[in-house]
Every structure is written in structure tokens, then in C-alpha cells.
Copies of this chain bind each other. A is one copy, B any other.
Amino acid sequence: MPKTISLAHGAGGSMMDALIKEHIMRHFSFQGRAEVPLQMLDDAAVIDDVVLSTDSHTVSPLIFPGGDIGSLAVCGTINDVSMVGARPLALSAGFILEEGFSVDTMEVIVRSMARVAKSAGVPIITGDTKVVERGAVQQFMVNTSGVGKRRPELDRNLKEVERYRPVKYRWLLDANLKPGDVLIASGLLGEHGIALLSFREGYGFETRVKSDVAALNGLMGSVLAAGGVVTAKDPTRGGLANTVNEFAEKSRVGVLLDEASIPISEGVRAACELLGIDPLEIGNEGKVILGVVKEKADEVLGVLHRHPLGRRAAIIGEITSQVKGVVLETEVGGRRILQKPLGDPIPRIC
């Protein structure tokens, strides 16, 4: 039977991983002079000291509690460029519009993009608009791509790491972790996915849970100024479970997470229990998981606590050679393996 695309192929888990590795990436073997090439499958790539990242956005509905497809698109790409240690310079916006779509709604989204871009200091400098006939696309989709340049703080930050141990890569890559490092979550997890799902399905949790969509370029600047950060990743599709498994695979290390320390709000916890969803597999849009040398962990945590987007930050685990893969020490004292999700429990969240 010929193989066809399924929703899980886009959900940020192991099926998407396989699709990309087997059917896309192996053809894109020519990577020219890329310093961080496609094969690293990190948040952004680097060539000639230019950082490049891209994201297409298909979230449904277009406007949701805490944000809309416009703020999501701008923040998502700013965050991906920021995660490798770059300062985002500018964005592009590529719109695909359905014939019959409301110009007023489009303008609400465009204004939201403009507002977030301006407040983050990252302008949208180029764009493209395509219109397709009714039925060829659902209402409105948008791609944002972003360029960035190396942050001056990054070199100082890595020098600080090297006071304690050598660093493999000179960008903040998933493959940079070593046993002894500490993982920090910058805030409450699961808010974006639960807000989306609840609003879409009418479950009512959205009165307590809103999307966390936010641009993290400022926060990353503050954190790097403190120093000691070896990697950073925003836990979007596939949530914390996917992010931490990426760390473990690419750095070839074990990860021990302390379930009780993982910051999750009462609203998300209640929704997840009711719906039978693991909050660790839910996508976020304004959070970062940092890998930090343990000697600097408290200082970085302090910086996060003083930043408006990091008030609920917490140390959630450590890198260790004592376990294989990702192991969760549960609140009741047991241990379970936290696998990369097969697919995201909630589709169309970004």
C-alpha cells in the first residue's frame, strides 16, 4: 500500500522524526558551508554567521485565549532564532489566504503581528501574499522566517561554562549537554495546548488557562548575560517530553527529571486529569528549557525569577550517566521512562 501522510507526521513526536529523517533530510545532504546544518535538527541553522529559522502556522482557531495566529507566528520564529544564542534581526511573513476570507479578520491578525514584532524589537521586513480558491486552504495560514546574528553575550556565556568544563559547540545546541548539567524550565508548562484544546472543544478550562505565547529574545539575552548556559530549546510540539528526549538523544546522555519540580498550573493539571492527557507532552509557545552547568544554576534561576516571563522558573532535573534516556522520578517516589511522544495529543496548536 502506498504510504500516506497522517496527522501524527506533523505532531513533533517520533513519527514526525521518522518522516523528516527518512523522506526529507536524507535528500537535503548538500549543506554548503553551514556551520549548524539541517542535520543537527536544532531550532535554527547557521551559515556564514547568519542564523535562519522558519515556521509555518496552521493553528485552529485563528484567534484563541491569550493570542492569535499572528502573535504565535511572530513569537515562534523569534524564539527559534533566539534558542541557538542569536539575536533575531528581522522576520519575513508569507501569507496564504483563502478566497472569501474576511479582510477585517486578516487585519486583526496583521495588527497583532505588528504589535508583537515591535514590542520584541524584531521588524517584519519582507513578505509574500498568495490567494487560493475557496477550499484549497482553510481561511488563513502564515509562514514566518527569521534571521539573526550571534549575540555578543554568547561568547562570554560560553567562557563562563568553560570555567567548569569544555563545550562542544559554540552555539546553544541540543548536543551540548554533559552529565552534571542542570535543566531549568522557565515557567508553567502546558498552558498553550490546553487553552487551545479547551477553547476549541468548549471544555471551559480556558477561563483559567490562557496561551503562554510570548517572545523570549529579551529573556534569553538576560540569561546569557548571567552565563553558564549550554543549551536552550522551546518545548513546542511534543512538549517537554519531546524536548528532553531530543537533548538525551543528541547529547547521548541520560536525563533524570523530578516530576514534583516541574511547574504546572492547577488549571492545566485539572484539565489533563479530566482529558487523560500527559501535560509533559503538550506544546508551549512562551517557555524555554535551559541546560546550565550546575555551578551557575542558582544564578540563572535568579535571573529568570526577576524577569517577567520567568517568575515561575524551576530546576526540573539533571543530566546524568546513571540512567539511559529520560527517566521521571514521580511524585509518589517511583520511576518511569518518559518517551518521545508518538504524536501530539492536541493537533493544530501551532
The answer to whether A145 and B47 touch (CB under 8 A), given A7-B99, A103-B4, A106-B23, is no
Contact residues of A between 44 and 63, Cβ < 8 Å to B: 44-45, 47-48, 50, 52-58, 60
CB pair B89 A54 closer than 8 Å: no
Q: Is the C-beta of A128 less than 8 angstroms from some C-beta in chain B?
A: yes
Query: Which of B30, B114, B130, B137 meets A137, CB within 8 Å?
Result: B137
Count contacts on A: residues with CB < 8 A to the other chain: 86
* A12 (CB) vs chain B CBs: closest residue: B129
**26 pairs of residues in contact across A and B, judged by CB atoms under 8 Å:** A2-B102, A2-B103, A5-B99, A6-B99, A6-B100, A10-B130, A11-B131, A19-B103, A19-B129, A27-B110, A29-B114, A30-B118, A32-B125, A38-B124, A45-B90, A45-B125, A47-B89, A50-B89, A50-B147, A53-B92, A54-B92, A130-B350, A133-B348, A143-B143, A143-B145, A147-B147
User: Per-position contact with B for A1-44: 1 when CB-CB < 8 Å, else 0?
Assistant: 01111111111000010011001100111111010111000001
Q: Is the C-beta of A135 less than 8 angstroms from some C-beta in chain B?
A: yes
CB pair A90 B32 closer than 8 Å: yes
Copy tally for this chain in the complex stands at 2
Q: Is the C-beta of A107 less than 8 angstroms from some C-beta in chain B?
A: yes
Q: Is the C-beta of A138 less than 8 angstroms from some C-beta in chain B?
A: yes
CB pair A7 B147 closer than 8 Å: no
Residues on B with C-beta less than 8 A from A90 are: 32, 34, 45, 47, 50, 52
The answer to whether A132 and B10 touch (CB under 8 A), given A48-B149, A90-B45, A101-B5, is yes
Closest 6 CB pairs of A and B: A10-B131, A145-B145, A54-B92, A143-B143, A45-B126, A45-B125
Q: Is the C-beta of A95 less than 8 angstroms from some C-beta in chain B?
A: yes
User: Per-position contact with B for A81-118: 1 when CB-CB < 8 Å, else 0?
Assistant: 00000000110111111111111101100110110011
Q: Is the C-beta of A260 less than 8 angstroms from some C-beta in chain B?
A: no
Q: How far in angstroms is the closest Cβ of chain B from A61?
A: 12
Chain B CB count within 10 A is highest, among A11, A118, A131, A149, for A131
Chain B CB count within 10 A is highest, among A48, A57, A123, for A123
CB pair A124 B28 closer than 8 Å: yes
Kindly state the separation between the CA atoms of A117 and B16 in the bound complex, as whole angstroms.
Answer: 23
Kindly state the separation between the CA atoms of A53 and B6 in the bound complex, as whole angstroms.
Answer: 31
Q: Is the C-beta of A218 less than 8 angstroms from some C-beta in chain B?
A: no
Contact residues of A between 202 and 233, Cβ < 8 Å to B: none
The answer to whether A138 and B141 touch (CB under 8 A), given A23-B110, A45-B90, A90-B47, is no
CB pair B137 A136 closer than 8 Å: yes
Contact residues of A between 299 and 350, Cβ < 8 Å to B: 347-348, 350
Residues on B with C-beta less than 8 A from A67 are: none
